[in-house]
Structure formats: C-alpha cells, structure tokens
Structure 1
Amino acid sequence: MNNVKSLNKWANRHTYLPVDLLRMALGVFLFMKGVHFITNIQYLVDLMSPIDKFEGGMWGMFIVHYIAPAHMIGGILIFCGLLTRWAIIGQLPILIGAIVINFMGEMHHQNLFVALIILAACIFFLFYGSGKNSADYFFKMRQ
C-alpha cells in the first residue's frame, strides 16, 4: 500500500497535460477497439483462431465475450482516470494474448506493433497512475 501511495505522490508532483492527454487517447483507442470488435465479431473470432485450435474451442466464446466489453469499459475508465490501474490490469491479459497470437499463427506486423505500443502505454500508466487531471484525483481531493 505504501508503494502505491508513494507512486501516486510522485505522479501528482510530475503531472503534465501531455501525459494526461496520452492517457485519454489510450482510453479512446481501447474503447474504439472494443466497438470495432463488437461490430465485427467474425474478425475477432478469426484473430483468435490460432488459440482456438489448441484449446479445442472450449474457451473461445468466453474470450470473445470478455475482450470487447473489457476494452469498452476499460477505455471509458482510463479516459476518465477512474480506477485506472484496475482497468489496465483488466487490459493486460488481452494485450499479452494479442502479442502471443501473432507468434502462434500468421504474423500480422501491424497488429503486433499496435499491441506492443498499447502494452507499453498500459504498463506506463499502471505505474504512473491517473495523474492530476483525473476523476481519481478529483475524488481524492474531495474527501
């Protein structure tokens, strides 16, 4: 708990508007990716086909129904800066899975690059937190 408090104090002292805009852009990107997956469910199923071969299709529908809502809800929370670390923890298995899928099946360089960039941004905000221009900071100051 002390580590999280010290990270929050450090982040609040070193908060800059471009970092908050990056967090907001990350949230918008994840939300739009979730909308894309919901509207193109067959695309998501095709992306997950390398994993589906190994698992026998048992977890396929569970994963499909986890990815899109997790991206949408997580994107909204990250955009607002509300429970940012928890929302990012929910994104990490999806992003790691996106990277692994590229190595198990056909390599899509663009998808791999995007997944690596988003994973790096999520890891950054996992440690950095929401920042001063966020709902977390607003609610903390109102106590």
Structure 2
Amino acid sequence: MNLTTKIEDWADSHHPAWIDYIRIALGLFILYKGILFISNTEALLQTANNVDLAFFNMALAHYVAFAHLVGGILIAFGLLTRFAVLFQLPILFFAVFFVNINQGFLSVSNNLEFEISILVLALLITFLVYGSGKFSVDHWMKEHPNA
C-alpha cells in the first residue's frame, strides 16, 4: 500500500461531514474570484507587472482565470477535488508569498487580501489531504458505479 492510498484511507475514515460545507463554500469563493479576474483582467495584469513577469502576463492571466473558474466548480461539486486543488495551489502560493506579502499582515491598504489568501491556501492544503467527502460527486460515483 503506497503513501497516497494510506493518506486517502485515513482521510476517508476521519472526514467530518461539516467540512464538506467548507469545501463547497471554498469552491464557490474560488469561482467568484475567477469571475472577478475575467471581468477585470487589467487588475490581474497590473499585479503581474508589479512582480516583473512581463513575458508571462497574458498566459498567467488566462491560467488564473481558467483554473479558478473550472477549479472552483470542481471543488464545489466535489468532482476530482484533489486534482482541482493541485491546479489552485501554485496560484495561491504565488498570491501569498509574492503578491500580497509586500503589503503586510492586517494592512488597511490591501483589504485583507493577504489574510484571505493565507486562509484559502490553508483550506486547499486541507482538501488536498481530505479529498471530496461524502457530499460530493466523487462519493456518489463511487457508490453508484453503473449509474
């Protein structure tokens, strides 16, 4: 039994039901942020310019928007949750350690973006370990393989 299977078995046996509601809220929040990125790509490009990624600005904007839109839906429904989380982690890691850290913790100027980014990063790591849970499409598909 490899490490991934052991972690998955442990997470399935120790998965409280209330955490599924947090997963759904996290997915909807990430979807909301994706919609904001789509509606205001200039702000995302300006943020990327501040970090000196001039060559990758447009690719970065498309990756962030697509990953948030699709990943938010997948996380909210509990479909391929760990896979969707893996695509979100680089975005949130970048947001926490390169974009928002310059403004400081509990700064008035950034409207708590740094704290929200840290919270979302922590929740993504949590769902990378815990997975989808019982209130998810993954669980339903596992219970009804022929449907």
User: 1:110: Cα distance to partner?
Assistant: 1.2
Give the whole-Å Cα distance in 1 for the aligned partners of 2:15 and 2:43.
Answer: 38
Structure 1 residue aligned with 2:100: 102
Task: List gaps (5 residues or longer) in structure 1.
Answer: none
Cα deviations by residue, 1:60-103 (Å, 9 ceiling, x for unpaired): 10001110110010000001111100100000110011111123
Give the whole-Å Cα distance in 2 for the aligned partners of 1:36 and 1:102.
Answer: 17
Give the whole-Å Cα distance in 2 for the aligned partners of 1:62 and 1:134.
Answer: 31
Structure 1 residue aligned with 2:85: 88
Give the whole-Å Cα distance in 2 for the aligned partners of 1:86 and 1:138.
Answer: 17
Structure 1 residue aligned with 2:107: none
Pick from 97, 117, 127 the counterpart of residue 119 of structure 2: 117
Give the fraction of aligned pairs with identical amino acids, expressed as a percent: 39
Query: How has the CA–CA distance of structure 1 residues 81 and 32 changed in structure 2, closer, same or farther, with 3 Å as cutoff?
Result: same
Q: How many residues align?
A: 139
Written as runs of structure 1 = structure 2, the 5 A alignment for 1:1-143 is 2-51=2-51, 53=52, 55=53, 57-99=54-96, 100-103=98-101, 106-107=103-104, 108=110, 110-143=112-145
User: 1:124: Cα distance to partner?
Assistant: 0.4
Give the whole-Å Cα distance in 2 for the aligned partners of 1:24 and 1:18.
Answer: 10
RMSD: 1.7
User: 1:106: Cα distance to partner?
Assistant: 4.8
Give the whole-Å Cα distance in 2 for the aligned partners of 1:79 and 1:67.
Answer: 17
Q: Is the 8 A contact 2:17 2:133 kept in 1?
A: no
Letter in 1 for 2:81: T
Give the whole-Å Cα distance in 1 for the aligned partners of 2:94 and 2:9.
Answer: 32
TM-score (norm: length of structure 2) = 0.86
TM-score (norm: length of structure 1) = 0.88
Letter in 2 for 1:136: D
Give the whole-Å Cα distance in 2 for the aligned partners of 1:117 and 1:106.
Answer: 16
